[in-house]
């Protein structure tokens, strides 16, 4: 019976990045997913654009752009075969945003410059007078990158339902054992263990299209359009808040994408190559969820006052189980840095950044129970 230092459940970009980070430190790692191959769910349907976040100064903006800088270096140095560093043009969504473009630019450390109307027209971008260009941005091959991240790591196609506690280890189905386990299980969470985190699903569709257009840069306004790579452009992705997204799209999930993309740039002789659909995971505050898993049943039984706002109760955790979730539509931006932080926390005892520590949501959840 194999004993791994770490087992990761979930082979989306979060799980693959965590497994790679652990393996790079010499740890014995297994990755487990119910599918035969990685990136078959929300990560496979992601646009996988590596782009900074624009907007007002918030924790989410600061985190995203810190992760963007790290992701650019990580992908360009280690996985350049799966990262097309085309540069990315960020087009302001409204006239008001266009008027404060320099303010948005001032909040981002990544190298950028303002493009005027003539430069945008030269790039084939229609009807815009001003935009920001980030030379370091680009787009990833979602499936290819996830496969590359877990190269050389033991992969098990199992639908994990239960995890049993052993003496200093956890036991997974079919007699797999690990000293530590990370639940990177996406929008489904993992049974009742993660219910207090409020993980929710966000349906997304992406299309890869053959085209005769030679688009030199990637771009984003309402949706993202990649540069032309081997005669193919990637358009993605939708963000549908619905439990029944196919009814909403009437069987054509790419229609709104193509419509929005065609307003940005001419797409000549567009022919569908492949459609990807899947559910991403998101948290209540849209920031990643990292860290230990609180034993919520124990806490509610022994400290009922937490439902009335009592904050001094010592948190009890489920031993050897950790979480990596809630990255929303920016999984490929967040994953490398969040994986580093999580593996630092688990195996080196470094404190987690409080902005992403999953503990932050527990007391709010308990108070909502009382309400």
Domain end position, chosen among 282, 301, 319: 282
Q: Is residue 298 located within the same domain as residue 363?
A: yes
Where a domain ends, among 214, 247, 282?
282
What's the pLDDT at 268? Answer: 95
Q: Does any domain span residue 235?
A: yes
User: Which residues, other chains included, contact 178 with Cβ-Cβ below 8 Å and sequence gap of 6+?
Assistant: 3, 4, 5, 6, 7, 30, 169, 170, 172
**What is the SS3 assignment for 34?**
coil
> Quick one: 160 and 194 in the same domain?
yes
For residue 352, the 8-state DSSP code is P
Residues 274 and 302 in one domain: no
Whether cis (ω within 30° of 0) applies to the bond prior to 10 is no
pLDDT of residue 318: 95
**Hunting for tokens 């979480």 — which residue is that?**
323
Q: Please name every residue paired with 29 in a beta bridge, in sequence order, or none if there are none.
A: 6
- Closest by alpha carbon to 20, among 11, 69, 162? 11
pLDDT for res 189 = 81
DSSP state of 145: H
Identify whether residues 262 and 148 lie together within a single domain.
Answer: no
| pLDDT for 235 | 96
> Is 92 part of any domain?
no
What stretch of H or E contains 96? helix 95-99
Q: Residue 239 has what pLDDT? A: 77
Q: Are 293 and 365 part of one and the same domain?
A: yes
**Together in a domain, 191 and 175:** yes
Tell whether 23 is covered by a domain: yes
Is 150 in the same domain as 276?
no
Say whether both 277 and 351 belong to one domain: no
Please report the pLDDT score of residue 37 as a whole number: 93
Radius of gyration of the chain, Cα coordinates, nearest whole angstrom: 21
Same domain, 246 and 179: no
pLDDT of residue 242: 65
20 in any annotated domain: yes
Copy the structure tokens of residue 58.
């918030």
pLDDT by residue, tens only, the chain of 371 residues:
679 999 999 999 999 999 999 999 999 999 999 999 999 888 988 999 999 999 889 999 999 999 999 999 999 999 999 999 999 999 998 888 889 999 989 999 999 999 999 999 999 999 999 999 999 999 999 999 999 999 999 999 999 988 998 888 999 876 799 999 999 999 888 878 899 999 988 888 899 999 999 999 999 998 999 999 999 999 988 777 766 666 667 777 788 899 999 999 999 999 999 999 888 999 989 999 999 999 999 999 999 999 988 888 999 999 999 999 999 989 999 999 999 999 999 999 999 999 999 999 999 999 988 77
What residues are paired with 154 via a beta bridge?
30
Whether 318 is in a domain gets the answer: yes
- The rounded distance, in Å, linking the Cα atoms of 220 and 72 is 17
**Residue 349: CB partners within 8 Å, gap ≥ 6?**
none
Residues 162 and 300 in one domain: yes
In a domain, 73, yes or no: no
CA contacts within 13 A on the Cβ side of 16: 24
Q: Would you say residue 167 lies in a domain?
A: yes
- How many structural domains is the chain composed of? 2
The pLDDT of residue 190 is 84
- Residue 213 CA to residue 209 CA, distance in Å, equals 11
Q: 89 with 123: CB under 8 angstroms?
A: yes
Domain of residue 365: give its range. Answer: 3-42+144-199+284-370
Is the domain of 38 the same as that of 171? yes
Residues 288 and 344 in one domain: yes
CATH number at residue 326: 3.50.50.60
Q: Given 226, 257, 282, which residue is the final one in a domain? A: 282
For residue 89, is it within any domain? no
């Amino acid at each position: 019976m194999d004993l791994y230092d770490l087992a990761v459940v979930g082979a989306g970009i979060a799980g693959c990045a965590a497994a790679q980070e652990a393996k790079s430190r010499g740890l014995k790692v297994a990755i487990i997913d119910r599918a035969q191959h990685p990136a078959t769910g929300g990560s496979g349907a992601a646009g996988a654009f590596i782009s900074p976040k624009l907007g007002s100064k918030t924790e989410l903006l600061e985190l995203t752009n810190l992760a963007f800088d790290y992701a650019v270096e990580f992908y360009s140095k280690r996985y350049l075969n799966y990262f097309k560093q085309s540069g990315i043009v960020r087009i302001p969504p409204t006239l008001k945003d266009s008027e404060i473009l320099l303010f948005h630019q001032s909040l981002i450390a990544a190298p950028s410059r303002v493009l005027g109307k003539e430069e945008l027209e030269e790039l084939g971008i229609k009807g815009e007078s001003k935009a920001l260009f980030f030379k370091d941005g680009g787009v990833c091959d979602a499936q290819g990158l996830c496969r590359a991240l877990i190269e050389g790591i033991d992969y098990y196609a199992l639908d994990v339902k239960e995890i049993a506690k052993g003496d200093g280890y956890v036991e997974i189905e079919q007699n797999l054992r690990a000293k530590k386990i990370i639940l990177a299980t996406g929008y489904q969470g993992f049974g009742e263990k993660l219910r207090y985190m409020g993980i929710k699903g966000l349906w997304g569709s992406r299309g890869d299209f053959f085209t005769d257009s030679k688009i030199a840069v990637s771009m984003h306004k309402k949706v993202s359009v990649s540069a032309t790579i081997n005669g193919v452009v990637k358009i993605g992705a939708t963000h549908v808040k619905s439990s029944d997204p196919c009814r909403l799209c009437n069987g054509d999930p790419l229609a709104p994408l193509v419509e929005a993309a065609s307003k940005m740039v001419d797409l000549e002789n567009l022919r569908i190559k492949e459609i990807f659909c899947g559910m991403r995971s998101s948290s209540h505050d849209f920031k990643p969820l990292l860290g230990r898993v609180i034993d919520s049943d124990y806490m509610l039984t022994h400290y009922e006052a937490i439902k009335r706002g009592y904050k001094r109760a010592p948190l009890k955790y489920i031993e050897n189980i950790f979480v990596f979730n809630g990255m929303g539509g920016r999984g490929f931006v967040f994953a490398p840095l969040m994986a580093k932080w999580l593996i630092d926390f688990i195996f080196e005892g470094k404190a987690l950044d409080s902005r992403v520590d999953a503990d932050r949501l527990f007391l709010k959840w308990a108070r909502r129970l009382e309400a």
